[in-house]
Amino acid sequence: EPEVTQTPSHQVTQMGQEVILRCVPISNHLYFYWYRQILGQKVEFLVSFYNNEISEKSEIFDDQFSVERPDGSNFTLKIRSTKLEDSAMYFCASSPRGGSNQPQHFGDGTRLSIL
């Protein structure tokens, strides 16, 4: 069964450094998402992306965050200057079509640890 794949599985970074998290969505999916989950807390929406544009973003997704689809397969989340509170699991998800009735399929996540 097709899967969303994410790399790396664990990223350790010094505070203030830039980090890029990578995702390969399911191949025929057109809508892509990033969520995060701080340890012990809810899964939180960050951003949705379609047709090379951000469709929607949350309050968390401020100017230090950006997303990009640099080629036909990868979807990346960049955090420009990391803070301690950015430590979390970051999940990429994809769906074949947009809309509230479309199930989203999640990757295994990247654990980001900021020191």
Is residue 90 exposed (0-12), middle (13-18) or buried (19+ Cβ within 10 Å)?
A: buried
Is residue 103 at the binding interface for other proteins, with CB under 8 A as the rule? yes
Shortest CB 11 distance to other proteins, Å: 15
Is residue 48 at the binding interface for other proteins, with CB under 8 A as the rule? yes
If we measure between CA atoms, which residue out of 104, 111, 92, 105 comes closest to residue 6? 92
Residue 86: phi, psi to the nearest 5? -80, -5
- Identity of the residue numbered 38: I
Stretch that binds other proteins, among 20-28, 40-48, 64-72, 79-87 (CB under 8 A): 40-48
List interacting residues with other proteins (CB under 8 A): 31, 33, 35, 41-45, 48, 55-56, 58, 89, 91, 95, 98-109
